[in-house]
Amino acid sequence: MGEHKEKIAQAERLPKIALFAGEYLDGPILIEIPPINKNFNYWAVGVGVRYNLASLYKSPRTIRQARIATEQARAQLQVTREKISLAMGAAESDYHNAFRLLDTKTKSVSLAQDNYDQVRYRYEEGLATLESLLDASNQLLDAQMQEVNARMSIAYNRYKLEYLAGII
């Protein structure tokens, strides 16, 4: 748009040329008595040239303003592209980190399940208290919730990445 405005500003320096064609039919004069039969058909074709002398003084300033606006728009476009690129890089990194976090949380669930099984076995044998069984159960539940949160984080980061890429 800035380039288009720049071209319009430069066009102000050029003369305006107009082509015209016309036809005019003169009919009878009815106000006179007797009516005068004056049926004439006039044709006209021509070229018009118009030049604004003030544009010699005003155009350089408007052209300069249009060029500055175009450069500012280009700089803003470059900044926006860089911001999108950085946001895409960060979103991609978050997406990969979410997979690593899921692996960690899956291992944590496995360890918590093993701990719970051992504490339950000890409790059934009378070697552990109910409190330690509840603690192991709470740790297992917490590990499972963290694993689910890690899976949700993967989905969130995927949609964020697709949003930044313009897919959705």
Asked whether the predicted pLDDT for residue 13 surpasses 90, the reply is: no
CATH number of the domain that residue 62 is part of: 1.20.1600.10
Confidence of residue 52 (pLDDT cuts 50, 70, 90): confident
Domains: count for the chain: 1
> Rounded CA gap, 100 and 110, in Å?
16
Say whether 131 sits in a helix, a strand or coil: helix
Cα–Cα distance measured from residue 22 to residue 45, given in angstroms and rounded to the nearest whole number? 6
How far is 86 from 68, CA to CA, in rounded Å? 27
In angstroms, the CA 99 to CA 119 distance is: 30
Residues 6+ apart with CB under 8 A from 9: 59, 62, 63, 65, 66
Question: What CA–CA distance (Å, rounded) separates 116 from 111?
Answer: 9
Percent residues over pLDDT 90 in the chain:
57
- Mean pLDDT value across residues 92-108: 95
Q: Which pLDDT does position 82 carry in this prediction?
A: 95
pTM over 0.75: no
Asked whether the CA dihedral 67, 68, 69, 71 is positive or negative, the reply is: positive
Q: Give the three-class secondary structure for 19.
A: strand
User: In the 8-state DSSP scheme, what is residue 33?
Assistant: S
Check residue 168 and give its pLDDT: 80
Residue 29 has pLDDT above 80, yes or no: no
Q: How far apart are CA 38 and CA 17, in angstroms?
A: 35
* Cα angle for residues 146, 147, 148 (degrees, 5° grid): 90
Full domain range(s) for residue 37: 2-165
Q: What is the pLDDT of residue 108?
A: 95
pLDDT in tens, 58-94: 888 888 888 999 999 999 999 999 999 999 999 999 9
β-sheet bridge partners, residue 23: 43
Whether pLDDT at 8 is above 90: no
Task: Answer whether residue 33 shows pLDDT above 80.
Answer: no
pLDDT class of 151 with cuts at 50, 70, 90: very high
